[in-house]
Structure 1
Amino acid sequence: MIALVNKIVLSSFMLVTIFVTLQTMDGVESFFFYQKAVVGIANKLPNLKLTFHCKDKYRDNGFHTLAPGENYRFGFAITPIFINRTQWFCLFSWDGESHNFDIYVQERDDCIFCQWLIQKSGPCKYYATHLDCYQWKTTGQHEHQERKMFLISNTSIQQEPPVVLQPLNSQGRN
C-alpha cells in the first residue's frame, strides 16, 4: 500500500515538474502561469530601411530589416504581475545611425499588444487615441538601472566580412 502511495506521489510530482518546465520554455504557449505579450515594430523612417536587433535576458530575437512602412511582430511570455521583470531591449539602426531602446518593460508597458512606431526622433508607442513618444536611450542605459550591467548588449549590427575561399587545383594544392 505504501509503495502505491509513493508511486502516486512521485507521478504527481513528475507531472507538475513537466507542466512548470513547459510553461517556462520559449515558444511554448502558456495558459496558466504566464501571460503572453506581443510587440509590434513599424518603420516610420521616410525612405530609409530600418535594421534592428531585439533580445531579453535569455532570448535573442535576431536581426531584422524593414522597408519604410513595413511592420514586424514578435511575442513572448511575461512574468506574473507581482514579479514585473520582463524586459526586451533593441538596437535600431539606419543610414549610419544606431540607437538603443527598451522596447518592452513590464513595469512601464501595460499592454498585451504594444505597437511601436520607429521614427528618427525616437520610438512612439501607438494607442488608438494618441502616441506616447520617447527619446532614444544612450548606449547601455536601460529602464532598470540596477540591472544595467547585466542587460548591456555586446552585439553590434556590423558583421565581419565573409571569408574568401580560394579554389584548389586538381592536386589539392594552391
Structure 2
Amino acid sequence: MSREITLFEAVLALFFTLFPNRLCRNRFQRLVGYFSLTNTIKHTHGQAFDSEPVSFTNSSTNLTTSFSINFFLAIVPEHNHQGSHGMAFVISPTRGLPGASSDQYLGIFNETTNGKRSNNVIAIELDIHRDQEFGDIDDNHVGINVNGMSSVLSASAGYYDDEDGNFK
C-alpha cells in the first residue's frame, strides 16, 4: 500500500498540490502558486505540516506501509547574501515543533532540544551551509537526522550530467 504526499515545492516554500485542504498552517503565507514559509526578516523560519497523520503501518496486516514524497524547491538568497542554512522534510509525532530556532537548526530544534532522544523526530535535511558543530560534510548536502542536527548519514548534493555521466 502506498501513499503519495506532495509537500515541498518552490522558493523557500511549500507548494501543496495533492492535498491543498489538509494543510496545517504555521507561520507562512499563501501566494499565487506557492506557499512562502518566510519573509524578508532575517534569521527566521517557517513550518507547514500535513494536517492528517501518516500511518506507517497497515492496520489490517501490521506491516510497514511505504509512501513517497515529491517536491521541488529553490532557495533564492538576497542579492550578495549567502541565504539560509537550508530546509528539511520532517517526520514528527506532533504538528509543529515548538521552540524551534532558525539558522543552523533549520526550524526543527534549538540549542537545548538538539540531540535529545525524546524529540522522536526524523529529518531529511537539504543543507546549504556547512556547520562544523554538527559534523556537516560540506555546504551542499542531504542528510538523514534522528533527533538532532548531526546527520547519521549524509551525501553531497548534486546531479549526474546527461552528457558525460559525471556527478556535479
For the criterion TM > 0.5, the same-fold answer is no
* TM-score class, shorter: 0.3 to 0.5
What is the TM-score of this pair, normalised by structure 1?
0.33
What is the TM-score of this pair, normalised by structure 2?
0.34
